């Protein structure tokens, strides 16, 4: 959030309500509270549970304790600072909260874009270094769990092994609910781990990530338990080649939809039109899914320092599916791949 954003929208202040945005701007990690930014200062409003934490984590910013009801404290601040027009992130505030503010705050409240999400798209070297550690954890966890996969193990047990490994080695949490989908279930792009037993001949997709110091990783690998059939090999090689074409060509200056088209065009030409329904990738940072998007609808121009996933897939109902995903940093001339896990077709025999 900058003075230019405030001035261009004729605002006296801007409320950042989303937890990840507050953390990005201030370092405060509490789950209750928001940030009000003006041209002259910034203040965190939170409740009594998080006052000491907020003061410790956001030492350069004023912290005010919310009263009951909480909007009275905000209104006193607004009157004190003579704020006439306050913007807020319309994507992150409910209609009920908006109406409450309209009724009780002595200031105009104006829906705005999520300006902080735009700031978060480009990572600095510190953010990239933290993300690299999160990626390294996923690489290590995959190498650990792959040695324990065999016919008869449950999908959910694989997911639990991954979670235990990641947390044991420093991850704050999982970045999202781990996907383990085997056999026909591997045709489900987001097939969260179930009680299903892994069977010989199954195609298995594992999609998981770690949250380390507030930044997420996101990796997917598919493999075969047993020897791959010709059709399984064909699908796998189609997805792998599509991903490699993207990694060979992506660079700063391209639009998200141009990058998506590289993979999509190749997959369709191999006869799999209609079997790659999701976008090619997404931004990665404090959230596992954030801007920018790599999709057919994305006009966002990629810039050096953006951190995105590249995850083409092919999914055949009643047969199975393959997805291969890496985390990359965009550069002026190409990209830097953060993952080190091999991508050749793995057959567990």
Q: Lowest mean pLDDT of 6-20, 197-211, 220-234, name the range.
A: 6-20
Q: Which of the two residues, 249 and 115, has the higher pLDDT score?
A: 249
Mean pLDDT of 119-142: 98
DSSP string over 114-149: -HHHHHHTB--HHHHHHHHHHHHHHHHHHHHHHTT-
Give percent above pLDDT 90 in the chain.
92
Average pLDDT over residues 26-44: 94
Domain boundaries along the sequence of the chain? 3-120, 122-347
Nearest Cα neighbor of 221 from 68, 340, 94 is: 340
278-310: b (≥16 Cβ within 10 Å) or e: ebbbbbbbbbbebbbbbbeebebebeebbbbbb
pLDDT at residue 2 tops 60: no
37-41, 136-140, 222-226: least confidently modelled range: 37-41
What's the rounded mean pLDDT across residues 152-163? Answer: 98
CATH fold, domain 122-347, is: Creatine Amidinohydrolase (3.90.230)
Helix (H, G, I), strand (E, B) or coil at 266: helix
Mean pLDDT of 180-187: 98
pLDDT of residue 10: 85
Q: What is the pLDDT of residues 291-347, one digit of tens each?
A: 999 999 999 999 999 999 999 999 999 999 999 999 999 999 999 999 999 999 999
Q: Which residues contact 126 (CB under 8 A, 6 or more apart)?
A: none
Which parts of the chain are beta strand (E)?
A: 13-16, 34-37, 42-46, 62-65, 85-89, 108-112, 173-174, 179-182, 203-208, 210-212, 215-216, 219-225, 281-283, 290-294, 307-310, 313-316, 320-323, 326-330, 335-337, 347-348
Identical fold at 3-120 and 122-347?
no
Say if CB 80 and CB 59 are below 8 A apart: no
CA 43 to chain centre: 27
CATH number of 3-120: 3.40.350.10
Statement: residue 190 has pLDDT above 80: yes
Count the Cβ atoms, other than its own, within 10 Å of residue 154: 16
pTM for this one? 0.93
Check whether 287 has a pLDDT greater than 80: yes
| pLDDT (tens digit per residue) in 65-109 | 988 888 899 999 999 999 999 999 999 999 999 999 999 999 999
């Amino acid at each position: 959030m900058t003075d230019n954003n405030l001035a261009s929208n004729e605002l006296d202040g801007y409320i950042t309500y989303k937890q990840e945005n507050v953390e990005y701007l201030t370092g405060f990690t509490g789950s209750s509270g928001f940030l009000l930014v003006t041209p002259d200062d910034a203040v965190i409003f939170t409740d009594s549970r998080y006052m000491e934490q907020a003061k410790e984590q956001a030492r350069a910013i004023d912290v005010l304790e919310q009263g009951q009801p909480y909007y009275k404290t905000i209104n006193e601040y607004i009157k004190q600072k003579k704020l006439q027009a306050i913007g807020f992130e319309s994507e992150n505030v409910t209609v009920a909260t908006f109406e409450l503010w309209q009724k009780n705050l002595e200031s105009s409240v104006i829906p705005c874009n999520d300006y902080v999400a735009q700031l978060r798209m480009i990572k600095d070297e510190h953010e990239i270094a933290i993300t690299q550690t999160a990626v390294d954890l996923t690489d290590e966890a995959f190498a650990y769990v792959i040695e324990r996969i065999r016919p008869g193990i449950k999908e959910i047990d694989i997911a639990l092994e991954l979670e235990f490994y990641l947390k044991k080695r420093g991850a704050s949490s999982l970045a999202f609910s781990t996907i383990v989908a085997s056999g026909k279930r591997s045709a489900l792009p987001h097939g969260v781990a179930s009680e299903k037993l892994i069977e010989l001949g199954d195609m298995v997709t594992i999609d998981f990530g770690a949250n380390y110091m507030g930044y997420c990783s996101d990796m997917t690998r598919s493999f075969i338990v047993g020897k791959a059939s010709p059709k399984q090999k064909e699908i796998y090689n189609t997805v792998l080649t599509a991903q490699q074409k993207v990694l060979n060509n992506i660079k700063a200056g391209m639009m998200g939809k141009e990058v998506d088209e590289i993979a999509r065009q190749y997959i369709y030409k191999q006869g799999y039109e209609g079997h790659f329904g999701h976008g090619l990738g997404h931004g990665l940072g404090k959230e596992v899914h954030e801007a920018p998007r790599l999709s057919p609808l994305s006009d966002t121009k990629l810039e050096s320092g953006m951190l995105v996933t590249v995850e083409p897939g092919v999914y055949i109902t009643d047969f199975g599916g393959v997805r291969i995903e890496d985390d990359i940093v965009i550069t002026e001339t190409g990209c830097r791949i953060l993952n080190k896990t091999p991508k050749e077709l793995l057959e567990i025999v």
